[in-house]
Structure 1
Amino acid sequence: MLVLKYLQIFNKKSNGVDTSVYNIFFQEKKIGSIYFGSYYRPFTEEYSITEEKEIYDKVSLRGAKIYYSKYLEQDYKNGIYNDNYYYYDTINKNIAQIMLPKKSNKGSIGIYFDSVDVYKNKFAIVSTELSEGNKKNF
């Protein structure tokens, strides 16, 4: 266990052989995760967009994350239905993908590095707990 200013980080073996997952706790509540290993998919959001109302009606009834849009191509390219904003920055000569929520109560906070060592291991820290207190702690 590693303790950093009231944050507790516990090792939790992931289901995969090639990546370790560490959970981050604050006051005994899980507020995020750390991923380190040879496989981690960069931040993406899974949903569909359709211009066809009939398809939207059928698929949305099944609980799928789908949106109806008259401007499908533009909305998809601009990430209109994403829960998060994404941008790239350089930190200590490493390119990082940063993820921030569009709304204060929905989305995730995170940072992802594609290659952090000579073995090209990936590293990510992600939190979906978006309370104001957690934003400060995280």
Structure 2
Amino acid sequence: MNGAPPALDVVDETFLAVPPSTVKAAFADPAAWRRYWPDLQLEVYTDRGDEGLRWTVKGALVGTMEVWLEPMLDGTVLHYFLRATPTTGTLRPRDLRREFDRRARAAKAIALELKEILEDGREPGLPPQAHPSPGHRP
């Protein structure tokens, strides 16, 4: 980047009713990165353990990305930050808004997919072993 602020500054937060180590495991494998962000090449510059990862970003965007995992209540707040500039050159404001919206929706889709998979139906506030079975009706 040339010293100018990034063209895209995407921030997202999602609560997952699982410990940070469980969420971290979902981001540990670089194959997952290629699935989540197929047009980006990521290189870890800080591995914060159960607190998350920070990457440099190349490919369709140039900049940085971070997944910060904050312990909260009985789970984790998954914070996502993407600060980058498209490599396609100068985009019109309308095109930048579209790219921002696309990246923000993709970030939320990743978080909600992880929420569904990792929580496996667990209700917040209930211990993992105490959540009702899928067919159980109160």
Structure with the bigger RCO (C-alpha within 8 Å, sep 6+) is 2
TM-score, scaled to structure 2: 0.34
Higher helix share: 2
TM-score, scaled to structure 1: 0.34
Higher strand share: 1
